[in-house]
Amino acid sequence: MSSRFRIGRDAERYRNVLNSGRINPTHYDLRASSSAYSENTDLSELLLALTPGVGPRILARLLNQFGKADEVLRAPFHDLLQVTGVGPKLARSIVRSRQVVPIHEIMTWCEKNHCKILQRGSKEYPRRLKEIDDAPLILFAQGSFTALHQPMVALVGTRHPTPYGEQQARRFARELTEAGMTIVSGLARGIDGVSHQSCIERDGQTIAVLGSGLGRIYPPEHLNLAKKIRHHGMLLSEYAPLHQPQKSTFPQRNRIISGLCSITLVIEAPQKSGSLITARLALEQNREVMAIPGPISSELSRGCNELICDGAKLVQSVDDVIEELHLPSAVPLTSTPFTNEYPQQLNAEHTSLPEKRTTQDWQKSPATIAVNQTEQQILEAISPDGSLLDSIIHRTGFAPQKVIAAVSLLEIRGLIARSHHQKIYRK
């Protein structure tokens, strides 16, 4: 089914689940639900984002044409038809959005299930995700926002991995977690699930981006894993909480997985794989794509091997990933960024890991934090009265994506700060 919300059936489902009386959503006061919504504002963006048939591309065109969500919702029927991809059925759906989207039921579900609704303009919305052209207008989020405050790496791969693929997913998820990364994936069977679980086993932070609503965990056998992720990171979805998974929703969610991260690492994938869609989207978003090579005789490694032939960075160890993130390898790290300490004795496969990064390490005085050569040049390129990102790129001569990644890490580590005008300052 092409629409992203089953109007009548989903509204009835919300009513049955919540067992609450329906009120006119036109008169629903969003400010009364501030614990669910990130900021006090009107319902226009939520209504538009959940209107049947309004996908990411159509949404971008509508906003480009009319400017703001409330202007789209107020637009006359004949004006909506002037937007590429908007036909009579979708135009009618937009005009009637206040009648067809069960806002009250959605907001009540979020209140009862500790789900936050993030608006693209809000301060809690993931900053890197804002950079992509088709960023979701709203996100539903459950869990801890600290997962968004660390460097993020996407681990993706086939739903039917070989023992080799599972081994590499466990290895990289654990070692990246040890290095202070947030692991991002899609909660799917196979590589996704192994990556999430392995991160949790190291008491790390992981983010699962769903192709369904947060109240419709898919696949169902990952329900317990999703509960663990809520306590070790975050569940994210652009779909209404009771939205059922559909074939079209999974490729759409892949752009969020890659958009959140500086790097997308493909672990094992055949030639026709959703993971390769994620890799392509990452390239379109000016993100780094990496791949783990596999046996040339394995059909499940053919996608990764072809990515490498096409220019993706070949990855053999976690150091290859950390190097691309421009993390300082020489900084002495003494404990963990999370509440629980890791075991003193690690398995043999982890004996070469650096000591773990801590909250204290990110919060050290700027004068005591070691930086690598790239980061030092970027710091030196920042004027005493602040500099814009374009100016830093020009002064250093580095590639834009390299500067963006390094600046993000410097900001996380407390060495620089941004003003509301996006100027960057040294601390």
pLDDT (0 to 100) of residue 342: 27
Q: Contact at 8 Å (CB) between 228 and 126? A: no
What confidence score (pLDDT) does residue 55 get? 84
Which residue segments constitute the domains of the chain, with CATH numbers given?
7-112 (1.10.150.20), 143-325 (3.40.50.450), 364-426 (1.10.10.10)
For 96-221, where are the E strands, in sequence order? 116-119, 138-143, 152-156, 182-185, 205-209
Contact in structure between 383 and 389 (CB atoms under 8 Å):
no
Report phi then psi at 158, rounded to 5: -65, 155
What whole-number distance in Å separates Cα of residue 262 and Cα of residue 411? 14
Q: Tens place of pLDDT for every residue, the chain, 427 residues? A: 333 334 344 445 544 444 333 323 333 333 334 455 444 345 888 999 999 888 888 988 999 999 889 899 999 999 999 999 899 999 999 999 888 899 889 999 999 999 999 998 888 899 999 999 889 999 999 999 888 888 999 999 999 999 999 999 999 999 999 888 999 999 999 999 999 999 999 999 999 999 999 999 999 999 999 999 999 999 999 999 999 999 889 989 999 999 999 999 999 999 988 899 999 999 999 999 999 999 988 999 999 999 999 999 999 999 899 888 865 443 333 223 322 222 332 233 333 333 333 434 434 444 545 678 888 899 999 998 889 888 898 899 988 767 877 787 787 677 888 776 678 888 8
φ, ψ for residue 170, nearest 5 deg: -60, -45
Dihedral (CA of 268, 270, 271, 276) sign: negative
* CA 277 to chain CA centroid, nearest Å: 15
For residue 293, the model assigns a pLDDT of 95
Q: What's the token pair of residue 35?
A: 């614990």
**Whole-number pLDDT of residue 143:** 95
pLDDT of residue 22: 32
